[in-house]
Amino acid sequence: MTPEEVFRTLVHGVAAGRYAGLPDLYAEQTDVRHPMHPARPEPLRSRAELRAHFGDGGPDPAVSFEAVDIVVHRTADPEVIVGEFAYAGTATATGETFHVPCVFVLRVRDGEIVESRDYVDHAAMAQVRERLAEPDATDGAS
């Protein structure tokens, strides 16, 4: 696959909750970083670490979202692309909508991601998830 095809497969796979196959988009030895993550996690360096990162889960029934507004910028290096997009979706229980901007800088060699910098507004995603996890204010009220 081309770098753009790998990128599109990745972001659409995340949105669809197809996590099981996503580690296969990465090289066995890779370097994936999330520079904007508030916890400053260690880089993910292997396909095994990516399997743990993505987990075994499928689509989150509390939220549905998709990758939208995708723009792919090619660079002078044919292995490197910059993908701008947003995850946009809806909380299934409340109908609340969200739009989280993202930028991924990928180096793809022989159809596999060997390096990635994923700039995601993690605070916004956490905020959406926290609101989804909050119990209804009327629950248990008498």
In our burial notation (b when 16+ CB lie closer than 10 A, e otherwise), range 31-49 reads bbbbeeeeeeeeebebbeb
pLDDT value at position 130?
63
Place of tokens 């296969």: 24
pTM for the full predicted model: 0.85
Average the pLDDT over 58-82 and give the result: 90
Helix/strand number for the chain, H first, E second: 3, 6
> Cα 8 to the chain's mean position, in Å?
11
* CB contact set of 34 (below 8 Å; sequence gap of 6+): 41, 118, 119, 120, 122
Q: Rounded CA gap, 67 and 138, in Å?
A: 33
CB count, 10 Å around CB of 69?
Answer: 12
Instruction: Check residue 122 and give its pLDDT.
Output: 80
pLDDT tens per residue, range 18-64: 999 999 999 999 999 999 888 888 999 999 999 998 887 777 777 78
Q: Which CATH architecture has domain 3-133?
A: Roll (3.10)
How many CA atoms does the CB half-sphere of 113 hold within 13 Å? Answer: 30
